[in-house]
Amino acid sequence: MEVMRRRGRITLAAAIVTVIGLGACSSTTLAGSGDTSEDDVGAAALASLTLNYSCVFPLIGAQPLSVEINSDIPTEVTPGVPTGAFEIDAISTVNDAARVGLRTVGATTLEGTVKADAHLAAPSLDLPLVVDMAIPQAPIPATAGAFTVNANGATPSLTFTPQNAGTGTITVGDLVLTMTPRDANGNPTGLGTFDADCTATPGQDQVLHTFTITGGGGTTTTSVPGSTTSTTVPSTTTTTVPQPLEFAFDLAGSSFIQAANGTTPLTGGIVAQFDLATGAHTSELTLAPTTGSFTILGILPVTANIEFEQAGPTTGSLVDGRLTSRSEMFVRLTNVLAFGYLPIGGGPTCQTTTPAVVELATPAGELFDPLAGGNLEGTYTLPGLAAGSCGFLGDLISLFTAGPNNTIDLALTATD
Amino acid sequence: MSDRTRPWVRSAVAVVLVAASAGLAVGGPGPHPASARPVQAAPDDAFFTPPTPLPAGSPGDVIRSRPSPAGPRSTRALADAWQVMYLSTDVAGAPNAVTGTILVPKGADPTAPIVGFGPGTHGPAFRCAPSLMLADGGFYEQPAVDDMLERGYAVAVTDYEGYHPDPTTTYMTGRSMGHALLDAVRAAQRLPEAGLAADTPVVLRGYSQGGGAAMWAGQQHPTYAPDIDLVGVAGGGVPADLVQVGIPLDGADGFGFFLYTLLGIDNAYADVSLEPHLNDAGRAAIARMEGDVCVLELILDLGGGTIAGHTVSSPLTAALLGHIVENGLGGQAIDVPVFQYHEQQDGLVAFGQAQALRDAYCSLGVQHTWRTYDTGGATGLIRHVNLVYRANDDVNRFVESRLAGAPATSTC
């Protein structure tokens, strides 16, 4: 059992390598979306597909939705060469019943996002994808009739391996629309922001595009068994692990210090280097100096200026949408004031004797999206302050800061 | 570094990381692996038909249950759900069977609080039942339900009395609605699959019809359901005095709600009958309503209608008016903190009668927080609809505070 599970993991890692390839770090041939001059990417063709869906909306229930999907996608791709992202435009035709429902609750505009299930298939490759698209604000007509709503997004850049040589297909599946109707004042209506699930009407051809993956002698015979987790991938692919990719996030949140019964706001940033093959990351965490207000001895209001010094890189992983991280940092109290003005301690060397170890993770039930960000939470122990370095009340201050069960809650937002 | 300046590269990686994260679970190579929708209830679904005779038992006992979709895909990822039929009590004090949906956050602790959720008006036809809307993914109060699930609370949604293939909904009879809501909470506590304890704190919330249900349940709680550890009641757009709510709707956008209220009282009370008072247009309207009309059609098909246009004689008989008065709110205190809110120019549920309810509760010593809103909606009806969603942040905070044991601030 253990052997099989490990094999599954290796296969998964290999699949990531196969698809991501060297894309992000390569310096050439990665420009944009298949316009003109990308000879080595192959001939581009306008892929177009109109799909009929049934979407469930609040108030009006299931309604038909017709979506015309257009994308400039090459008809031929070369292994080892990143394809670049392809822009996708989708024009949805919304029926009059939906228009009436929306106008009845006072809506005059509609905006939102689309998550489109897609599927990429090629020899040795069988990959579900989610393509995110944005729906810019569109007017909801006052006059009767169907109306159109545009969405746009981009496919991921893909790099194929020689094992993938042959015919590839991109299939479009179901959609999740996240919609916010607004009234003439720009306020949300009684429907708020809602999700509408759209199910493709059965019996349609859902293949958006068929293309050829060239090279490799074209004699690859790798077959795809019934399950992705048992796909056999030659072990040599593990040598093509790409360089880590960098993601940057702003962070904001707070930490509650139990011994001092007070909360400190936290701001800063994190630059994470993800190893795509394993999901592991090594990151540089920056926490801005902050000020915390506490009450010590039950009566003495204290303000502390706090700085953080990272004792090493932050490490962790992103697996199944769950981000974990482990940081070690010295916590320094540069100045401690009672009643807001009376210095009672602190100083440039007034810091924890050992680094505080802070382990954070995505809260249960949430997902971390490396593109957008997500929340992190955890608990940690604050070590005591270095004796004699925090002024004449230093030991007292240490007594009322050190201890376990401090909590931390952070929101990470991708830096643009 | 340059990677960070090229969003499409990040997008590419992000998609793959997400795909990789999901990969092991997604499994098979089908063309759209995440699309399988759970089976939905057919419109003639026998699950909703009460057994005759009703089984013996206490209010809140589960008669039958089955797993059901919790809502759209995003909600299904958040929670498990079951449709239930449970024992409750009608306006005459007799046992009845009511349906509803119990939603439990995935991985919820048995001590998770329970939010009893009274839906707003869904409509007279069977297909409008909140449980059917929820399972279909078209429940118009899904954002409020999701807010509760995201906080780790279980949610007990009542359909109210009378949603079955030959519907007899007892619309706006608060005495039945309050029981239905309290017993939905008990059903959540008693449904073994939900894994919820019987002694966790409970908050009731609802808007419009649901606001009326929440307030009625609050008033009934001390005598009818003292076993429930109720800690707060939030009700908005509350129809407290059905005369004051109904009269302005004659000839207005909300006429369908008035006619539906008369139908609801007819369905609830044996000594009232609408039929002798109806003209052909009235009979046709009632037949259409019970056949296929949900809340949107109440507005679109019946808006602007009049009582005179649907009747040959006044249906507002002494018996009917007596039942309207019986189902008026404010006669008893609610013994837990109350949050009541209303649109200042509500064109469906009159503002003045809600303010009068506030005054009544204050004079009864209720810990009452009152908030009014100006949503800027284009019509009075739209103003009412706006608060279905736009007061949610305030309601959420009230619910959180009650469950955190914080003291309530009365505005009386």
| DSSP codes joined into one string, A352-365 | BSSPEEEEEEPPTT
Last residue of a domain, one of B275, B291, B324: B324
DSSP strand pairing (A166-182 vs A194-200)? antiparallel
The rounded distance, in Å, linking the Cα atoms of B367 and A135 is: 45
pLDDT in tens, B219-235: 999 999 999 999 999 99
Least confident interval from A231-235, A286-290, B85-89: A231-235
Phi first, then psi: give them for residue B186, nearest 5 degrees.
-60, -40
Confidence class for position A82, pLDDT limits 50, 70, 90:
confident
Q: Identify which of A16, A86, A127 has the alpha carbon closest to the alpha carbon of residue B31.
A: A127
Longest Cα–Cα distance of chain B, Å, equals: 80
pLDDT in tens, B10-42: 333 333 333 333 222 222 333 333 333 334 445
Q: What is the mean pLDDT of residues A168-181?
A: 95
Is residue B119 located within the same domain as residue B253? no
Distance from CA of A214 to the nearest CA of B (A): 22
Q: Are B104 and B67 in contact (CB under 8 A)?
A: no
Cβ contact, residue pair B8, A32, below 8 Å: yes
Distance from CA of B363 to the nearest CA of A (A): 32
Is residue B291 located within the same domain as residue B370? no
The rounded distance, in Å, linking the Cα atoms of B15 and B8 is: 10
Q: Which pLDDT does position B356 carry in this prediction? A: 97
Cβ contact, residue pair A229, B27, below 8 Å: yes
Amino acid type, A411: A
% of chain A beyond a pLDDT of 70:
78
The rounded distance, in Å, linking the Cα atoms of A31 and A84 is: 7
CATH, residue B361: 3.40.50.1820
Q: Are B235 and B348 in contact (CB under 8 A)?
A: no
**Which of A16, A29, A60, A104 to mutate to probe the B interface, most B CBs <10 Å?**
A104
Angle between helices B255-268 and B318-326 (to 10 degrees): 90
Is residue B194 located within the same domain as residue B224? yes
Judge whether B104 lies within some domain. yes
Is residue B102 located within the same domain as residue B247? no
Distance from CA of A343 to the nearest CA of B (A): 35
Q: Which pLDDT does position A244 carry in this prediction? A: 60
Last residue of a domain, one of B308, B324, B340: B324
Cβ contact, residue pair A195, B142, below 8 Å: yes
pLDDT of B248 higher than 50? yes
Cβ contact, residue pair B24, A60, below 8 Å: no
Q: Which residue has the higher pLDDT, B142 or A158?
A: B142
Nearest by CB to A127, from B12, B19, B385: name it: B19
Q: What is the mean pLDDT of residues B115-127?
A: 98
Q: How far is CA A329 from CA A308, A325, A332, A351, A362, in A?
A: 6, 13, 9, 10, 20
The rounded distance, in Å, linking the Cα atoms of B12 and B257 is: 51
Cβ contact, residue pair A24, B9, below 8 Å: yes
Confidence class for position A133, pLDDT limits 50, 70, 90:
very high
Is residue B233 located within the same domain as residue B108? yes
Q: Which pLDDT does position A233 carry in this prediction? A: 30
Question: Which chain B positions have a beta carbon within 8 Å of A30's beta carbon?
Answer: 9
Cβ contact, residue pair A58, B379, below 8 Å: no
The count of other CB atoms within 10 Å of the CB of residue A282 is: 15
Q: Identify which of B16, B206, B286, B384 has the alpha carbon closest to the alpha carbon of residue A106.
A: B384
Is residue B305 located within the same domain as residue B385? no
pLDDT in tens, B367-398: 999 999 999 999 999 999 999 999 999 999 99
Cβ contact, residue pair A60, B73, below 8 Å: no
Residue-range definition of the domain harbouring residue B74: 46-237+332-403
The rounded distance, in Å, linking the Cα atoms of A286 and A273 is: 14
Is residue B232 located within the same domain as residue B105? yes
Q: Are A375 and A411 in contact (CB under 8 A)?
A: yes
pLDDT of A92 higher than 50? yes
Q: Identify which of A261, A263, A266, A283 has the alpha carbon closest to the alpha carbon of residue A274.
A: A283
Q: Which pLDDT does position B42 carry in this prediction? A: 53
Instruction: Count the helix, strand and coil residues of chain B and give each as a percent rounded to the nearest 5.
Output: 45, 15, 40
pLDDT in tens, B165-194: 999 999 999 999 999 999 999 999 999 999
Nearest by CB to B24, from A8, A192, A200: name it: A8
Q: Identify which of A347, A110, A58 has the alpha carbon closest to the alpha carbon of residue B137.
A: A58
Distance from CA of B243 to the nearest CA of A (A): 25
Question: Which chain A positions have a beta carbon within 8 Å of B74's beta carbon?
Answer: 176, 178, 195
Is residue B297 located within the same domain as residue B362? no
pLDDT of A266 higher than 60? yes
Mean pLDDT of chain A: 78
Distance from CA of A274 to the nearest CA of B (A): 10
Domain ranges in chain A are 2-236, 245-414
Question: Which chain B positions have a beta carbon within 8 Å of A192's beta carbon?
Answer: 143, 388-390, 392
* Global confidence as pTM: 0.69
Q: What is the mean pLDDT of residues A209-231?
A: 52
Q: Are A135 and A65 in contact (CB under 8 A)?
A: no
Question: Which chain A positions have a beta carbon within 8 Å of B24's beta carbon?
Answer: 8, 12, 229, 320
SS3 B94: coil
Residue located via tokens 């759970």: B38
Is residue B320 located within the same domain as residue B344? no
Q: Which pLDDT does position B43 carry in this prediction? A: 57
Looking at the 3D structure of chain B, how many domains does it have? 2
Question: Which chain A positions have a beta carbon within 8 Å of B391's beta carbon?
Answer: none
Cβ contact, residue pair B28, A227, below 8 Å: yes
Judge whether B28 lies within some domain. no
Distance from CA of A115 to the nearest CA of B (A): 11
Cβ contact, residue pair B21, A321, below 8 Å: yes
pLDDT of B143 higher than 90? yes
Cβ contact, residue pair B378, A365, below 8 Å: no
Q: How far apart are the first and last CA of chain B?
A: 59
The rounded distance, in Å, linking the Cα atoms of B99 and B167 is: 12
Judge whether B33 lies within some domain. no
Cβ contact, residue pair A24, B16, below 8 Å: no
Q: Which pLDDT does position A160 carry in this prediction? A: 84
Q: Which pLDDT does position A392 carry in this prediction? A: 65
The rounded distance, in Å, linking the Cα atoms of B284 and B264 is: 16
SS3 B350: coil
Extract the tokens encoding B314. 């006044």
Q: What is the mean pLDDT of residues B197-208?
A: 96
Question: Which chain B positions have a beta carbon within 8 Å of A57's beta carbon?
Answer: 138
The rounded distance, in Å, linking the Cα atoms of A334 and A229 is: 53
H/E run at residue B285: helix B280-292
Cβ contact, residue pair B4, A247, below 8 Å: yes
Extract the tokens encoding B381. 């009806």
Amino acid type, B263: L
pLDDT of B322 higher than 50? yes
Is residue B216 located within the same domain as residue B71? yes
> Minimal Cα distance from A365: which residue of B?
B78
pLDDT of A220 higher than 60? no
Extract the tokens encoding B296. 């949107």
Cβ contact, residue pair A318, B17, below 8 Å: yes
Nearest by CB to A370, from B13, B31, B385: name it: B13
The rounded distance, in Å, linking the Cα atoms of A186 and A242 is: 45
Question: Which chain A positions have a beta carbon within 8 Å of B138's beta carbon?
Answer: 56-62
Q: Which pLDDT does position B41 carry in this prediction? A: 47
Q: Mark out the alpha helices in B77-173 (DSSP H runs).
A: 130-136, 142-150
The count of other CB atoms within 10 Å of the CB of residue A248 is: 18
> Minimal Cα distance from B106: which residue of A?
A365
Distance from CA of A289 to the nearest CA of B (A): 25
Cβ contact, residue pair A200, B35, below 8 Å: yes
Residue located via tokens 């690859």: A220
Is residue B68 located within the same domain as residue B131? yes
Question: Which chain B positions have a beta carbon within 8 Å of A187's beta carbon?
Answer: 375-376, 386, 390
Judge whether B8 lies within some domain. no
Distance from CA of A257 to the nearest CA of B (A): 20
Cβ contact, residue pair B392, A192, below 8 Å: yes
Nearest by CB to A246, from B4, B16, B377: name it: B4
Distance from CA of B204 to the nearest CA of A (A): 20
Q: How far is CA B86 from CA A208, A217, A348, B47, in A?
A: 48, 67, 67, 12
Distance from CA of A227 to the nearest CA of B (A): 5
Confidence class for position A391, pLDDT limits 50, 70, 90:
confident
Judge whether B99 lies within some domain. yes
Last residue of a domain, one of B324, B347, B374: B324
Question: Which chain B positions have a beta carbon within 8 Å of A20's beta carbon?
Answer: 12-13, 16
Q: How far is CA A9 from CA A240, A319, B280, B296, in A?
A: 16, 11, 71, 51
What is the CB-side half-sphere exposure of residue A408 using CA atoms within 13 A?
A: 24
